[in-house]
Amino acid sequence: MRNALALVAALLAAVLIPAAGAFAQSPALDPAEANAAKAQQQQQLTQPLNNEPLWSEVRSGAPQTTQVRGRETDILIQPEGQTWRALRNSIVAVWAGWAIVAMIVLIAAFYLWKGPLRLKGPRTGRKVRRFTRWQMTIHWATAALFVVLAVSGLVISFGKNLLLPIIGYTLFSWLTVLAKTLHNFLGPLFILCIVLLFFTFLRDNFWRRYDWNWLRRFGGLVSRQDVPSGKFNAGEKIWFWIGLLAAGVVVSVSGLVLDFPNFDQTRLAMQVANIVHLAVAALFILAALGHIYMGTIGMEGAYRAMSDGYVDETWAKEHHLYWYNDVMAGKVPAAPDDAPAPARAPRPASS
């Protein structure tokens, strides 16, 4: 028995004596660290399991300790993230969603009230070249990308509240992954198309004095009185400069910030870009809805102008008289990259 106790005592001595020596040689704790440790111990005695002081310190924004190096890697929790989330989900997204719904209702009501803008005179069957093959190609390429980006963006922004309760988690997860992938990869291609579209139609979108008259009379949409204009009227020019250029630049820049986070943006930059992207994209969609309406069912013959490039002579005179006169006078080439337009039989006014 004595031998056993002696053996245990020897083992304890072999373990504890070196440990005590190492402890004695270790540097003393920093006074601030010692006070923090003492306060934490006291906290656990008076309020067990209460981690509020710890998380308050983490959420304070003060630099924390981390092994990762880079911008903001020492910020474990960003308090402004909650502000961004509330602003996006409770204000911007709500107002943007209702604005789009209101625009659709307004367009439908206007169509039921006034109907499409029809030609007053009979068709002549003589065609005037309005758009070249390249102009139609870049227009439809940009339009197709815009529709895909708009729909995918709406799914990302509103799908959780509108689609998830209807289609369930499985289908919604597949749909959102598809929407996010399309949005991320087609966004840069859309930017390229915007640049090409801008320079393609720039020459015909400079403001003229007669555009003020068109603007004052709202293009005759309400009065149904023809208002002369150039190749593009004032409404189309506003869409070109404010929609295509201004809104296009803003959604493009903010979209690139969101699309490439590996460029070392801060979280605040990403949050601001997200709010700006959502708000301006919603305005872009609102303006595009009006443009799509006038280019399809809102004006007789407008869709054909961009589908095959030709318009009837009557359509050209009634809607773009100054441009028609320039074409007839030879000041503006009617078909710079095509043979003369073939004559076609007049179509009924209701078609």
Under DSSP, the state recorded for 128 is E
State if pTM tops 0.85: no
349 domain-assigned: no
* pLDDT grade for 115, boundaries at 50, 70 and 90: confident
**Residue 62: per-residue pLDDT:** 67
Q: Of 270, 271, 280, 205, nearest to 249 (Cα)?
A: 280
CA 308 from chain centre, in angstroms, equals 30
Evaluate if residue 262 carries a pLDDT over 60.
yes
Ranges of H-type helices in 47-163: 52-58, 80-87, 93-114, 133-162
Return the bridge partners of 274, or none. none
Least confident of 119-133, 202-216, 325-339: 325-339
**Residue 350: per-residue pLDDT:** 40
**Residue 335: per-residue pLDDT:** 52
Containing domain of residue 208, as a range? Answer: 123-142+187-328
Contacts of 313 (CB under 8 A, 6+ apart): 123, 124, 126, 127, 128, 324
219 domain-assigned: yes
111 domain-assigned: no
Distance CA 221, CA 302 (A): 14
237 domain-assigned: yes
Token pair 């719904």 is at which residue?
101
* 111 in Cβ contact with 285 (< 8 Å): no
194 domain-assigned: yes
242 domain-assigned: yes
* In the chain, % of residues over pLDDT 70: 74
Distance CA 221, CA 224 (A): 5
Distance CA 293, CA 219 (A): 15
Residue 127 backbone phi and psi in degrees, to 5? -105, 145
Distance CA 131, CA 349 (A): 22
Specify the number of domains making up the chain. Answer: 1
Return the bridge partners of 288, or none. none
Per-residue pLDDT, averaged over 334-342, amounts to: 49
Name the 3-class secondary structure at 117: strand
pLDDT tens by residue, 39-88: 666 766 666 666 666 667 666 666 666 666 667 766 777 777 888 888 99
Which tokens hold the place of 150? 């708009």
208 domain-assigned: yes
Work out the number of other CB atoms within 10 angstroms of the CB of residue 287: 16
Highest mean pLDDT among 105-109, 158-162, 227-231 belongs to 105-109
Name the 3-class secondary structure at 299: strand
Distance CA 78, CA 264 (A): 16
Strand ranges (E), the chain = 127-129, 310-312
For the chain, what is the radius of gyration of the CA atoms? 34
- Determine the length of the chain: 351
Which tokens hold the place of 281? 């994209």
Q: Of 221, 17, 254, 268, nearest to 114 (Cα)?
A: 221
CATH code where residue 251 lies: 1.20.950.20
Work out the number of other CB atoms within 10 angstroms of the CB of residue 4: 8
CA 88 from chain centre, in angstroms, equals 13
324 domain-assigned: yes
> Which amino acid would we find at residue 184?
N
